[in-house]
A and B are shown apart, each in its own frame.
Chain A
Amino acid sequence: MADAAVLPAPIAKKVPGRFWIVPPAALLALLFFYPLVLIVQQAFMDDSGMANVGEFVRVLHARFFLNALINTITISVAATAGCLIVGLVLGLILAFVPFPGSGVIARLIDTFIALPTFLVTLAFTFLYGSAGMLNAGLMEAFSLQAPPVNFLYSTWGVVLAEVTVYSPFVLRPLLAAFSLVDRGQIEAASVLGARPFRIVRQVILPAAVPALIAGGSLCLLLTVNEFGIVLFIGAKGVITLPLLIYSKAIQESAYQVACIIAVINIALSLGLFGLYRFAAGRLGA
């Protein structure tokens, strides 16, 4: 007992874990939160450093802002709808139509995610631009004086480019969801008399809803903030929020207006990101 009494009490090991939060938190604050705070501060203060909500309200009612907001929403909603349709059709084919090389095609489509967005726009310019292959061919074939295909320099040109770039973002989670669909359910439905369209509608799609929401909200998020494609196409009159921020800040040096629009853009993005995380959580991503 005496020996036991003199034994030193076990020393609790120090847990250093809690201090590791400091470096990343500091880095995040320096590179992300501080600039963000500056933007918000700039949005609500005038040049004399006084709080001023009046300018914020004025921008909210300005024609240029409303046009940009409508353009942004129109393009992102149309592009997201396009991505959902293209992604869904491609996903169904790749997952459920057995053909040799489907895996290679899926991986090839995946590589689009790795490419810079302007690359597709550049390719579109070569294909569908005023001096592109399509117009040149049509002008030569029909002896036309002006290029007949002009959609690229419109809202729809931007939408098409965004659909091309962002469809893989829908396709990837859809393929993951389709791989989890029990083939036995499809076979049982088929034996019970269901034709392929009914099986897609009533058996496959309900299982893919979280993937569609996750992919769709990610597309919406990315297309709302898309800058490169819109700038590269340079469509006349197609000004979106990111492009408006760029033009106000860089071309007109109207920093407060740029910051006000940026704050609204950030709020929009965070809302969509919340939707994406919720859907991704449902999917188990």
Chain B
Amino acid sequence: MSVPAFTGSNVMDVDAAKIRGAGSNVHFDKVSVAYGAHVVLHPLTLDIAPGEILAMIGPSGSGKTTALRAVAGFVRPASGRIRIGATDVTDLPPYERGLGMVVQNYALFPHMRVEDNVAFGLRAQGADKALIGERVKDSLATVGMSGFAKRYPRELSGGQQQRVAIARALAVRPRVLLLDEPLSALDAQIRRNMVEEIAKLHRDLPGLTILYVTHDQTEALTLADKIAIMRDGRVSSHGPTAELYRRPPNRFTAEFLGRANLLPVTVTEGATGPKGFAKAKLGDALLAGAARGEKPGDKTLLCIRPQHLSLTGDEEHTNRIVGTLKEVHWQGELTHLVLDVDGTPVRVSATRLPVSLPERGSVVPLFFAPGDTSLVPEDARG
């Protein structure tokens, strides 16, 4: 049986308004978590607005899952308070917090049919039979799994199981939906589809607050309204997704959120002009870039994304550097070039290349627009 995507039309068919508007804000107030003397989450203060998707991303051991588990009630904060809406949930057990959760391995109950899995939370909360039947039907329709109600989880594919897990979490009308690496167990193609479908789901359920923990930057960039980048148990940076990507506040953010070329430059002139570009020197090249309050003489990094570098210049791509071509990797849709620019490896991702590609070892000019750059402070801690 083919599975329809959980599209907006599915949702409208099942009266999605019943699910809408259920979200609450989440507030971390100096929440820290420690195991003995080992602090895994340093005091964290963060807000997730109602209906917002906040993606927490970071490497393993950065504290992102710990923060999610503290919201769920599986980890007791060593200090600080967690509020969901107007309720301080810090001391509440998980079953009284009004949440939904989806985890990496789906965690479906293997001995229950799909419909019983979805009904589990409602039964646990003492909902009446008629309501349970209605909600199960609605939730399965929302994720495009109506035809699979009588199946057991073992009879479903990974993607289908994850849809059921989402339906189960949505059925209880959670105040906040916690997604803990929900797509990590899926293969690349299904993962891409599921990311798009979760995005559609949130468009159709705009009131739903989602805390999305992942180590996959693509998932975060696609889904999140805001991103918190975690490192060593601390928030390294936090802000609107596009803003963090375009103007990363530190080296760690620039490198973790998408690929970034970070060129060491010396500022020669602070922000000037209507666009507030500063001027900085890289070797002999004088470059313009989006400033962050740098002063002349400051040593900093010029961040430029690989896809913003071009082998040909025009009136917009006014910055020019030269480098020695080291590697060329053709990947179908994209061609990746690696150049050496004053000892710094610079990556270029190009969709279109000149008909005759330069030879390896040849000196190649690279062009980019000042508006695509950002000056990023050189900060060892990030």
Smallest beta-carbon distance B161→chain A, Å:
12
Interface size in chain B (residues, C-beta < 8 A): 30
Q: A191-B99, A192-B100, A198-B124 are in contact. Are A184 and B105 (CB under 8 A)?
A: yes
**In this assembly, does A150 line the interface, its C-beta being within 8 Å of a C-beta of chain B?**
no
Residue of A nearest to B165 (CB): A188
A82–B74 Cα gap in the complex (Å)?
33
Q: Which residues of A contact B93 (CB under 8 A)?
A: 190
Chain A interface residue count: which class? 10 to 19
From the candidates B73, B107, B111, name the one contacting A182 in the complex (CB within 8 A).
Answer: B107
Say yes or no: B74 contacts A194, CB within 8 Å. no
Chain B 103-119 near chain A by CB (<8 Å), digits 1 or 0: 11111111100000000
Residues of A within 8 A of B100 (CB): 191-192
A206 B111 Cβ-Cβ under 8 A: yes
Whether B168 sits at the interface, judged by CB under 8 Å, is: yes
Give, as a whole number of angstroms, the nearest-CB distance from A87 to chain B. 21
Instruction: Assess whether A139 is interfacial by the CB under 8 Å rule.
Output: no
Interchain CB contact under 8 A, B121 and A192:
yes
A192 neighbours in B (Cβ, 8 Å):
95, 100-101, 120-121, 124-125, 168-169, 172
A191 to B178, CA, bound (A): 10
Assess whether A193 is in contact with B95, with CB atoms less than 8 Å apart.
Answer: yes
A184's closest neighbor in chain B, by CB?
Answer: B107
- Using CB atoms, name the residue of chain A closest to B103: A184
- B97, CB-defined interface residue at 8 Å: yes
Q: A182-B107, A187-B107, A190-B95 are in contact. Are A202 and B120 (CB under 8 A)?
A: yes
A187 and B74 in contact, given A192-B172, A194-B95 (Cβ under 8 angstroms)? yes
* B231 smallest CB distance to A (angstroms): 26
CB distance from B23 to the nearest CB of A (A): 16
**Inter-chain contact B172/A193, CB cutoff 8 Å:** yes
Whether B111 contacts A191 by the Cβ 8 Å rule is: no
A203 with B109: CB separation less than 8 A: yes
Q: Which of B73, B96, B107, B111 contacts A188 (CB 8 A)?
A: B107
Q: Are A195 and B103 within 8 A (Cβ)?
A: no
Q: A194 and B124: CB pair below 8 A?
A: yes
Contact A182 B95 (CB under 8 A): no
Residues of B within 8 A of A185 (CB): 107-109
In the complex, which residues 142-197 of chain A have their Cβ closer than 8 Å to any Cβ of chain B?
182, 184-185, 187-195
Given the contacts A194-B120, A203-B109, A188 and B103 also touching, CB distance less than 8 Å: yes
- Complex: A206 Cα to B120 Cα, angstroms: 14
A192 to B165, CA, bound (A): 11
A109 interface residue, CB < 8 Å from B? no
The answer to whether B111 and A207 touch across the interface, beta carbons within 8 angstroms, is: yes
Residues of chain B contacted by A182 (CB below 8 angstroms): 105, 107
B211 within 8 A of A: no
Residues of B with C-beta under 8 A to A188: 101, 103, 107, 165, 168
Q: CB within 8 Å of B: which of A189-238?
A: 189-195, 198, 202-203, 206-207
Which chain A residue shows the least CB distance to B93? A190
CB pair A193–B124 under 8 Å, yes or no, is yes
**Residues 61 to 114 of chain B near chain A (Cβ within 8 Å):** 72-74, 93-101, 103-111
Residue-wise, chain B 154-170 has the 8 Å CB interface mask toward A (1 for contact) of 00000000000100110
Q: How far is the CA of A191 from the CA of B177 in the complex (A)?
A: 10
Judging by beta carbons under 8 Å apart, are B103 and A187 in contact? Answer: yes
- The CA of A192 and the CA of B73, in the complex, are separated in Å by 12
Is B124 within 8 A of A189, CB to CB?
Answer: yes
Q: CA A194 – CA B168 in complex, angstroms? A: 13
Docked Cα-Cα span, A251 to B72, in Å, equals 68
How long is the Cα–Cα vector from A185 to B125 in the complex, in angstroms?
17
CB atoms of B97 and A191 under 8 A apart: yes
Distance between A90 CB and nearest chain B CB, rounded to angstroms? 23
What chain B residues lie within 8 Å of A184 (beta carbons)? 103-107
Q: Which residues of A contact B106 (CB under 8 A)?
A: 184
Query: Which chain A residues lie closer than 8 Å to B120 at the CB level?
Result: 189, 192, 194, 202
What CA separation (Å) do A256 and B110 show in the bound complex? 53
- Nearest chain A CB to B118's CB is how many angstroms away? 10
Chain A: CB-nearest residue to B101: A191
In Å, the complex CA distance between A104 and B107 comes to 30
A191, B109: Cβ atoms closer than 8 Å = no
Which B residue's beta carbon lies closest to that of A206?
A: B111
Q: Which residues of A contact B121 (CB under 8 A)?
A: 192-194
Closest CB in chain B relative to A180 CB, distance in Å: 11
A271 to B367, CA, bound (A): 84
A187 to B100, CA, bound (A): 11
Quote the shortest CB–CB distance from B251 to chain A (angstroms).
Answer: 35
Given A187-B72, A206-B111, also A195-B95 (CB < 8 A) = yes
- In addition to A187-B74, A188-B101, A190-B93, 16 A-B residue pairs with Cβ atoms within 8 Å of each other are A185-B108, A187-B103, A187-B107, A188-B103, A189-B109, A191-B178, A192-B124, A192-B169, A193-B95, A193-B124, A194-B95, A194-B120, A194-B124, A198-B124, A202-B109, A202-B120
- Listed A/B pairs (17) with beta-carbon separation below 8 Å: A184-B106, A184-B107, A187-B72, A188-B103, A190-B93, A191-B73, A191-B94, A191-B95, A192-B100, A192-B101, A193-B96, A193-B98, A193-B125, A193-B172, A194-B95, A195-B124, A206-B109
**Which 4 residue pairs of A and B lie closest in terms of their CB atoms, listed nearest first?**
A192-B121, A184-B107, A194-B124, A190-B94
List residues of chain A with CB under 8 Å of any chain B CB: 182, 184-185, 187-195, 198, 202-203, 206-207
What is B's interface to A at a CB cutoff of 8 Å? 72-74, 93-101, 103-111, 120-121, 124-125, 165, 168-169, 172, 178
